[in-house]
Amino acid sequence: MADDAAARMENNNNLIGPIPPQISPQPSRQCLTWNRIESSGVPPPRSGAASIVVKGKLYVFGGYGGGTGRLDDFYSYDFDSNEWQGVQVLSEYRPGCRENNGVVISDSSSEIYLFGGYNGNSWLNDLWKFDIETKCWTCIQESSDPFPADDDTDAAVGDVMMGPVQPPVKGKIPCRRFGYVSVVHRGKFILFGGFDGSRWLSDMHIFVFETRTWTEVQPKGNAPSARSCPAWAKDDTHLWIHGGYDGVDRKADFFAFDLTTYTWTEIPCLGRPPPPRYFHSCCLYGNKLYVYGGYSGSERLGDMYCFDYDTNHWSQVDCNHGEVPSGRSSLVAQVHNNYLYIFGGYNGSNVLNDFYKFRLKTIGVPPPALVADFRRLMNDSTLADVCFLVENQEVYAHRAILAIRSEYFRVMLCGGMRESSTIPGATSRQPIELPDVSHAVFLKVLEFLYTDTCEGVSLETGIHLLVASELFMLDRLKALCEEIIRRDINVENVVGILVASYRHNAEALKDIALEFILRHLTDPIVMAGLSDLRVEPDLLLEIIRRSTQNNGPNNGHQEGASLVARFGSSSPLR
């Protein structure tokens, strides 16, 4: 999943054959189901909690508990044992209460980082680290605004929990905020956007752990507008952001941020994209990105959408089966193994602590193998029941396939021309001789009959294959050959292509060759090549006629007269 969006869209241009079908933007119909998870030790209800999956466990910190205010508790869920537990913290100090902040995991997957949020009274910009191995919190950077010492607020609890910090950080510290985007990549903490209590933000900052230095970044490309509470996900090379809110509008746009070049790219929303929303979730699974839930401005949502990196199309996922959760915003959503897990959130009436999983992987259906299987049958004597002799070489095939694919072979093999032995190696009948085609070209004919494609066809082979397609009455193969030949027409070969297309009734290719000649009549190579048309005088007369019609009465007659003077005026020309 580390390829960028452009690479994921790359087409395979090495196959000469049928044009692949257009990617359909129709919604996915997986018909997979939700299951409610009943487990022990479930945390109290909350929305806006921070979450991360580390080493087989889901970690959840803080959030908003409704009547209990903002929270500072810390839980983990073990996917194997299906148990929730409070996370053991051995350090004396830990982050205070907060909601709508993110947590991110370090590159080594042993440290969790937490930045900012909202504590019910103040927006924050402190930075904390939790070491999973030592079970200790460390304050890297205090919030730039001290918490007020009002015991009636959640902030007072946060004040009590604040402890000593490491040596001061350097650089320009980002302003306090919540609803931001954050990731860790190659030793750097990257921060984008959010809301600081009065402004929706679009600034971007990077904190280098090794040097303990903040830097405001001026990224390249088409950056997202100011917003808070979008959904985001990260792969090995990119940060992906969807939606959000700017104080006026809910967003539905979709962006990729290159973590190496610091370049934003807006991704076109093709297919059936999610409607505008914020406070929603966004998770990666395989080569797809899933968006679930959120708030539209009028309702809490329970729909799901999928972005396919192979097609760059969105589709809606049918997620209305099983024990379906209520629509919700500000939820915990993480992917583990083949499931999307959601916990808590707010449904418009209540803060929740219910827990669900949705299977993302459908039944594993192997990729189609019919063409590959049929390709293995080509010229294989093991199961063949007909044999041809082409340029003194035996070629094995199957009567049923040839007869159903070609009228020529149907008449040959099912009519009165049953000359071939029915068992390879039998001596009662001789192989069918095909004197009018080369061995290499006949193998290409068989490839088409067995697979409906022809790979790696050169211009020279394409011309010979065009002749063979006429002989064996294969109209589709003829059209494919015409397309192959058309791509390589030039002043040196156009006359030969014109003659071949004329002799073998390739009308479309003939018209293309004629038009090419008419556009290049002044080219000396083309004019010299027209001498070869003495063997096909009707073609030369057609060129003269079209030249006269296309160039008007003056120039056309002059050019036509020049051609007549050079090659003659009547058919046949001498």
- 533 against 567, higher pLDDT: 533
Query: Facing residues of 90 across strands?
Result: none
Angstrom distances, CA of residue 421 to CA of 383, 398, 401, 442, 538: 13, 12, 16, 19, 45
Dist. CA 298–CA 523, nearest whole Å: 69
CA angle in degrees (0–180, nearest 5) for 142-104-121: 40
Q: Give residue 244's pLDDT band: very low, low, confident or very high (50, 70, 90).
A: very high
Contact 59, 44 (CB under 8 A): no
**Res. 447 pLDDT band, cuts 50 70 90:** very high
**Beta bridge partners of residue 351, listed in sequence order:** 346
pLDDT of residue 561: 54
Distances (CA, A) of 139 to 178, 209, 257: 18, 13, 28
Contacts of 60 (CB under 8 A, 6+ apart): 43, 46, 49, 50, 51, 74, 75, 76, 77, 332, 343
What residues form DSSP beta bridges with 194? 201
- The three-state secondary structure class of 129 is strand
* pTM for this prediction: 0.61
Q: Which residue has the tokens 């257009």?
A: 22
The pLDDT score that the predictor gives to residue 4 is 37
87 C-beta neighbours (distance < 10 Å), count? 17
Question: CATH fold of 44-176, please?
Answer: Neuraminidase (2.120.10)
Q: What is the pLDDT of residues 483-532, one digit of tens each?
A: 888 888 888 888 888 888 888 888 888 888 888 888 888 888 888 878 77
d(CA 217, CA 475): 60
pLDDT reading at 434 higher than 80: yes
Both tokens assigned to 456: 């790696």
Cis status, amide bond into 43, omega within 30 of 0: no
Contact yes or no for 543/559 (Cβ under 8 A): no
Q: What number is the average pLDDT over the span 232-236? A: 95
Helix (H, G, I), strand (E, B) or coil at 531: helix
**Per DSSP, what are the bridge partners of residue 137?**
130
Instruction: List the strands of the sheet with 393-397, edge to edge.
Output: 393-397, 386-390, 432-433
Neighbouring-strand partners of residue 185: 188
- Show me where the domains of the chain are located: 1-12+26-42+219-364, 44-176, 366-486, 489-574
In DSSP notation, 227-294 reads -BS-EEEE-SSEEEEEEEE-SS-EEEEEEEEETTTTEEEEPP-EESPPPS-BS-EEEEETTEEEEE--
Q: Which band of pLDDT confidence, cut at 50, 70 and 90, is reported for residue 543?
A: confident
d(CA 404, CA 459): 28
Torsion angle (degrees, nearest 10) of CA 176, 180, 183, 188: -30
Fold of the domain spanning 366-486: Potassium Channel Kv1.1; Chain A (3.30.710)
Q: For tokens 């406070």, what's the residue?
A: 279
| Phi, psi (degrees; rounded to nearest 5) at 315 | -145, 155
Distance CA 272, CA 28 (A): 10
Lookup: tokens for 348: 């418009």
Average pLDDT of the chain is 85
Percent of the chain with pLDDT over 90: 62
More confident of the two residues 419 and 196: 196
Mean pLDDT of 470-493: 88
pLDDT of 176-231, one tens digit each? 999 999 999 999 999 999 999 999 999 999 999 999 999 999 999 999 999 999 99
SS3 542: helix
Of 70-84, 91-105, 306-320, 396-410, the poorest mean pLDDT is in 91-105
Residue 169 has, within 13 A of its CA and on its CB side, a CA count of 24
Sequence letter at residue 515: E
- Ranges of H-type helices in 378-437: 399-405, 407-414
Q: What is the pLDDT of residue 18?
A: 38
Asked if 252 and 243 touch (Cβ cutoff 8 Å), the reply is yes
The answer to whether 294 and 301 have CB atoms below 8 angstroms apart is yes
Domains 1-12+26-42+219-364 and 44-176 share a fold: yes
CA–CA separation, 95 vs 154, rounded Å? 12
Angle at 190 between CA 314 and CA 5, to 5 degrees: 30
Q: pLDDT category, 77, cuts 50, 70, 90?
A: very high
Q: What is the CATH number of domain 1-12+26-42+219-364?
A: 2.120.10.80
| 255-312 confidence digits (pLDDT tens) | 999 999 999 999 999 999 999 999 999 999 999 999 999 999 999 999 999 999 999 9
DSSP secondary structure, 137-204, as one string: EEEEE--SSPPP--TTSHHHHHHHH---B-SPPEE-PPPP-BS-EEEEETTEEEEEEEE-SS-EEEEE
What are the CB-based long-range contacts (under 8 Å, 24+) for 400-409?
Answer: 401/374, 401/377, 401/449, 401/450, 402/449, 405/449, 405/474, 406/449, 406/472, 406/473, 406/474, 407/473, 408/471, 408/472, 408/473, 408/474, 409/472
Distance CA 531, CA 350 (A): 88
> 3-state SS of the chain: helix, strand, coil percent to 5?
25, 30, 45
